[in-house]
Chains A and B, each alone.
Chain A
Amino acid sequence: MTAKKTPVFVQRRTYRRRRVADGARLLPVFGGILFLIPLLWEGDPAGAEAVPDGARTAWVMTYLFVVWFGLAVLSGVLARFLVAEDDGGDEEGES
């Protein structure tokens, strides 16, 4: 009874796999944008000493490391998916 469903299932898997590959390609762009965001928080140009709401190194550092860690995790997840998709091409009955 799954005979009819299998092709659709495979197609959907292929589709997913292509989107995961797209995601893997987009990830560095996404990461790059995230790493650029602190530039927007820059306080006044050099010379303006007492700007209370200027961004602090400690804050930016925390942000950067959180993003960094998040990117590493995301990259790991995507890499794992790419593995699963590549290897599991002919064992669609499993999942």
Chain B
Amino acid sequence: MVTLNVLVLVCLLYVAFLFAVAFGADRAALVGRGTWLRSPIVYTLSLSIYCTAWTFYGAVGFAARSGLEFVTIYLGPTLVMIGWWWTLRKMVRVGRSQRITSIADLISSRYGKSNTLAVFVTLVAVIGLTPYIALQLQSVTLSFATFAEADPFTDAPPSQQSTAFWVAAGLAVFTILFGTRNLDANERHHGVVMAIALEAVVKLFALLAVGVFVVWGLAGGVDEILARIDSSPIARWEVPGSRWVGLTLLSAAAFMCLPRMFQVMVVESEDEDHLRMAAWAFPTYLMLMSLFVVPIAVMGLELMPEGANPDLFVLTLPLRNGQEGLAILSFLGGFSSATSMVIVAAIALSTMVSNHIVMPIWLWSTGGGAMVSGDVRSVALLARRLSIAMILFLGYCYFRLSGGGTALAAIGLISFVGVAQFLPALMGGLFWRGATRSGALAGLGVGFVLWLYCLFLPSFGASEIMPYSVMRNGPLGIGWLRPQALFGADGMDPVIHAVMWSLLLNTCTFLGVSLLTLPKPIERLQGAQFVNVFQHSQTPGSWSGGLARSEDLMIMSQRIMGASEAQAMFSKEARKQGIAGYLPEPTPDFLQMLERELSGSVGAATAHAMISQIVGRATVSVEDLMAVADETAQIMEYSSKLEAKTEEQARTARQLREANEKLTQISVQKDAFLSQISHELRTPMTSIRAFSEILRDSEGLSEEERNKYASIILEEATRLTRLLDDLLDLSVLENGQVVLNSQTGQLSDMLDRAVSAAGVQDRLRIHRRREAEKITLHTDLDRLAQVFINLISNAGKYCEAPDPALTIRPQAENGNLVVDFIDNGPGIPTDQQAMIFEKFSRIGQTKAGGAGLGLAICREIMGRLGGDITYLPGQEGAAFRVVLPLREAATVQAAQ
């Protein structure tokens, strides 16, 4: 006989073997050798964790109690799998493109990276899966107990509770060793997946072996077994339609929503193409697992004594018929089923708990978020290990509470209904852009509460949690709130009742609230990313790195990813940007990449929160939406650049045009100057020559006439000289050859001199303010007087007013002497104001015989004196402003 000790030894050896396989696979993946690790067959086999101890032991029990109904649990996943093109492909694509770490992460990512939603999904998943874990503990415990009973050397078999406890503890240690060696969930657990694939083979082989033994060894062939089925208590096909349809739908929903299925199907997925093989291979696997269930159940019912637990027929049939080797194989198959499920479920749940509950709380409680000292990685790992222990402990508690006597399938169905509550939010999120976070939260909340009320709490039986009176008459005697006959739905199967109400109201609430609420921008952004994942597998919400500090980002990344990985990533990015060293510019692309990398370790919501803490922005702005939605922003930026360039060119062109105009004007001026000067020289020369000839040739001129002609000649010669003097003066001034003769004097004296020198007193009234003229000047007074004389005589010559007047208004302003000369004439037209200081420029028709050099000389003189002369527009007449710096005069004075 197989003793209990031998069994324990076999178990330990098997576990050690699994561990070696996992270790080897991890090593192979590390050195890049294991391409076979990433083959579709391994992927398909890893999906078989759907078949847990529930399948291995429970299906036979299910069949023994309800006939063919057990098969619905496998028909649902079959339909989902052959419909992979619709749903699973999209889930895997989204999972890969968004670096999803768990189903909670997927749902929270879809609904705007909401951590509230992630926490809620995590809690539902943990509570929902507790019965499922208890189921595995129960099955392993029962199988141990079966061997213990048959063990002749054990007087007092260990109690079920203690066995369950040690199994739970052992599984916790095993899972921690297996699942939390590396942190990045996106690096994928090659070892675990390999071990699961191996266990899938073991359990299939074990179940087939038992089946073959039962059909050909016990029953005696296919025809024989069909006849026995026909004569067995489950011979009649009498499955209620509601259960048949309901359980098929439920198992299909659970297949997509179970955290452990999501883990192997999406998170551990290496390649979307692997689904192609899984599409036919996984249904085949399920079919093979189900093939011998009914025969084993029938033979068990026939051969085993009354009252034997039908859940254990797989084990007890070989044991009773002396097939100890087969019994041990069968035990290993069941053990494999239970352990692989617990390992993956615990890994998936612990990832969710640590990413969505522990890490946010830890980051929040340490205040500075990502900026605190200490290694985030160790915290994350510790959180995961503790979560695994906690999850198994919860499972153990459920096992204790439920008493360990319930049929396995009944326990499993409770879990299925619990996780199926994710379905509306999940499918809505993948296929409907209108689904909102509020809708998902509300729907999930309603479904969860109904599940608790209608199925989970009653599963403990009539107890303190839910007294018998409530079960029978409803809370406070309200009949239509009875947990198993809600709204008067009396006489329904409890599971179907719970499925119907929870999923129906969940879906309705989800749809209704989604229709009524408005999603935030980031939700709409993520919604478009998820629903249209095949159109554009591109970026989610982008970051603007304006405020981000690369160094802080690096410090944070080092804590999460490990120093060397983070440094390698940063320097690679810096090189890509063409920057030496470790700190790249925090471009939106880089921030996005970083967020995805980090979300592999701590989940999308946390990674988003951490980066936004450093970058300083928690939400997505309208600009980001535009940038992501389209390249509009780029195009706009480009066109605005073009616009600026165009404007600049237009400015340059304008300047060029102005310069050209000026050149043309100067050229015209030069021509005018030449003709002017020849004209100016020629007029006096002509008269001088004419009168000289008269004097020479005419005889008998009177003395008076001779004097008159001679004085004309003299006058003309003087005018000629003056013109030449002016020209010379201008030329000297322009060439900077003038020597200034500084003197000190009073402004009033100078103006007196100038007024008298201009000789215009008879035809021009001059308004002066004597008291304002008491200003001492130190400059070349003669030159300044020349300017004043010029201005005053100009006023006398050109002022066309009937009563000409000139106002001279001196004032000291900002250390400058400002003297305005304003007459009451018509002034100078705007278009000619720029030209009056040019040589030979004269306004309009030359009325008085000036050469047009006066103002040009004035400008040159004032330039030499460090001041300026300008035309002052906007006065009642022509106005000139002479500006002379006083300070310079003062300093010159002080120096003397």
Interface residues of A (CB under 8 A from B): 21, 24-25, 27-28, 31-32, 35-36, 38-39, 41-43, 45-46, 54-61, 64-65, 68-69, 71-76, 78-80, 82-83
Q: Which residues on the B side are within 8 Å of A79 (C-beta)?
A: 84, 275-277, 279-280
B120 at the interface (CB under 8 A from A): no
B280 touches A75 (CB 8 A): yes
Rounded to whole angstroms, the CA-CA distance of A69 and B290 in the bound complex is 12
Q: Which residues on the B side are within 8 Å of A28 (C-beta)?
A: 79-80, 82-83, 86
B618 CB, nearest partner CB in chain A, Å:
40
B276 touches A64 (CB 8 A): no
Rounded to whole angstroms, the CA-CA distance of A71 and B81 in the bound complex is 11
> Which residues, 239 to 255 on B, are CB-close (under 8 Å) to A?
239, 241, 244-245, 248
Q: Which residues on the B side are within 8 Å of A69 (C-beta)?
A: 284, 287
Q: A58-B229, A69-B287, A72-B287 are in contact. Are A83 and B273 (CB under 8 A)?
A: yes
B187 CB, nearest partner CB in chain A, Å:
28
Contact with A along B82-122 (1 / 0, CB 8 A): 11111000000000000000000000000000000000000
B283 at the interface (CB under 8 A from A): yes
Sample of 11 A–B contacts (CB below 8 Å): A24-B83, A24-B84, A31-B82, A42-B238, A54-B236, A64-B68, A65-B291, A72-B280, A72-B283, A76-B280, A76-B281
> Which residues, 213 to 239 on B, are CB-close (under 8 Å) to A?
226, 229-230, 232, 234-239
Rounded to whole angstroms, the CA-CA distance of A84 and B263 in the bound complex is 29
B234 touches A57 (CB 8 A): yes
B380 at the interface (CB under 8 A from A): no
Additional pairs, 16, CB under 8 Å, beyond known A71-B283, A79-B84, A79-B279:
A28-B79, A31-B82, A39-B245, A43-B237, A43-B238, A61-B229, A64-B75, A68-B78, A69-B284, A71-B78, A72-B82, A72-B283, A76-B279, A79-B280, A80-B276, A83-B273
B276 touches A61 (CB 8 A): no
Q: Which residues on the A side are within 8 Å of B279 (C-beta)?
A: 75-76, 78-79
- 6 nearest CB pairs, A to B: A76-B280, A28-B83, A24-B85, A55-B237, A75-B82, A79-B276
Rounded to whole angstroms, the CA-CA distance of A80 and B629 in the bound complex is 35
Rounded to whole angstroms, the CA-CA distance of A38 and B241 in the bound complex is 10
Contact residue among B83, B85, B236, B275 (Cβ-Cβ distance under 8 Å from A43)? B236
B67 at the interface (CB under 8 A from A): yes
Contact residue among A31, A56, A57, A83 (Cβ-Cβ distance under 8 Å from B276)? A83
Contact residue among A25, A35, A55, A72 (Cβ-Cβ distance under 8 Å from B248)? A35
Q: Which residue of B is nearest A59, CB measured? A: B237
B236 touches A25 (CB 8 A): no
Contact residue among A54, A57, A59, A71 (Cβ-Cβ distance under 8 Å from B67)? A57
Contact residue among B75, B80, B230, B280 (Cβ-Cβ distance under 8 Å from A58)? B230
B294 touches A57 (CB 8 A): yes
Q: Is the interface on chain B under 10, 10 to 19, 20 to 34, or 35 or more residues? A: 35 or more
Rounded to whole angstroms, the CA-CA distance of A45 and B237 in the bound complex is 10
Q: Which residues on the B side are within 8 Å of A57 (C-beta)?
A: 67-68, 229-230, 232, 234-237, 294
A24 CB, nearest partner CB in chain B, Å:
4
Q: Which residues on the A side are within 8 Å of B237 (C-beta)?
A: 38, 41-43, 54-57, 59-60
A58 touches B236 (CB 8 A): no
Q: Which residue of B is nearest A69, CB measured? A: B287
Contact residue among B230, B277, B283 (Cβ-Cβ distance under 8 Å from A68)? B283
Q: Which residue of A is nearest B226, CB measured? A: A58
B206 CB, nearest partner CB in chain A, Å:
20
Q: Which residue of A is nearest B295, CB measured? A: A61
B59 CB, nearest partner CB in chain A, Å:
13
B71 at the interface (CB under 8 A from A): yes
Rounded to whole angstroms, the CA-CA distance of A71 and B332 in the bound complex is 31
Rounded to whole angstroms, the CA-CA distance of A36 and B284 in the bound complex is 19
A64 CB, nearest partner CB in chain B, Å:
6
Rounded to whole angstroms, the CA-CA distance of A35 and B286 in the bound complex is 15
Rounded to whole angstroms, the CA-CA distance of A16 and B275 in the bound complex is 21
Rounded to whole angstroms, the CA-CA distance of A75 and B168 in the bound complex is 39
Rounded to whole angstroms, the CA-CA distance of A39 and B283 in the bound complex is 22
Q: Which residues on the A side are within 8 Å of B280 (C-beta)?
A: 72-73, 75-76, 79
Rounded to whole angstroms, the CA-CA distance of A45 and B241 in the bound complex is 11
Q: Which residue of B is nearest A77, CB measured? A: B280
B235 touches A56 (CB 8 A): yes
B245 touches A36 (CB 8 A): yes
A31 touches B79 (CB 8 A): yes
Rounded to whole angstroms, the CA-CA distance of A41 and B83 in the bound complex is 26
Rounded to whole angstroms, the CA-CA distance of A61 and B225 in the bound complex is 12
B724 CB, nearest partner CB in chain A, Å:
93
Q: A57-B237, A61-B68, A75-B279 are in contact. Are A31 and B78 (CB under 8 A)?
A: yes
A56 touches B241 (CB 8 A): no
> Which residues, 295 to 354 on B, are CB-close (under 8 Å) to A?
none
Q: Which residues on the A side are within 8 Å of B248 (C-beta)?
A: 32, 35
B53 CB, nearest partner CB in chain A, Å:
23
B487 CB, nearest partner CB in chain A, Å:
25
Residue among B230, B276, B281, B286 with max Cβ neighbours from chain A (10 Å): B276
Rounded to whole angstroms, the CA-CA distance of A71 and B282 in the bound complex is 11
